[in-house]
A = this chain, B = another copy of it.
Amino acid sequence: MNIGQAARGSGISTKMLRYYESVGLLTTVRRTEAGYRVYSQDDVGTLRFVRRARDLGMPLDRIKHLIGLWQDEGRSSADVKRVATEHVVELRARITELTRMCEALEHMADACHGDHRPECPILEELADEGHCAPTPPEAARRKHRQGAAGKSPFGALQGVA
């Protein structure tokens, strides 16, 4: 079967089928003499596996790991469970972080009248000067590397959306 059929059968776009192949998620993709990709029914099974794992928010390398276990008859379910649990932990971390953001913003929005006047607690909170030290008060002013200063607030959050 051609790539289009495989796409429809797996629910993954042809773009992504080629991409997954390029990053090594699918090992054996046969070709016709003309260079067309040829997919077997088994390939589509693997692709559906991939799609379901993506639906759970897994990054491709974790899915690759899982496929390896899936195809390894000698696996132990403990290994699979570990991968799954790892992902659950990350999902929970993201949920916690988003919940924190959401609650903070809801709290600010609740305090806002939302009328025609310019006064707004949301802006005041965001602009608040005394919120975090404007500069390390009287600390080392020379000899300071920038180092960990600008760390992304989203360091631990990668992958899905």
Binding site for B on A (CB under 8 A): 4, 7-9, 11-16, 44-45, 48-49, 52-57, 66, 69-70, 72-78, 80-82, 84-85, 87-88, 91-92, 94-95, 97-99, 101-102, 104-106, 108-109, 112-120, 122-123, 125-129, 131-132, 134-136, 144, 146, 149-151, 153-154, 157-161
Contacts and interface: CB of A to CB of B under 8 A. Distances in A.
11 contacts: A9-B135, A14-B150, A49-B127, A57-B101, A66-B123, A80-B112, A88-B109, A91-B98, A91-B101, A157-B160, A158-B161
A126 B4 CA distance: 22
A52 B126 contact: yes
Given A70-B127, A80-B112, 15 more contacts: A13-B150, A52-B125, A56-B101, A75-B120, A76-B115, A76-B118, A77-B119, A80-B123, A81-B112, A82-B114, A85-B109, A87-B105, A91-B102, A98-B160, A159-B161
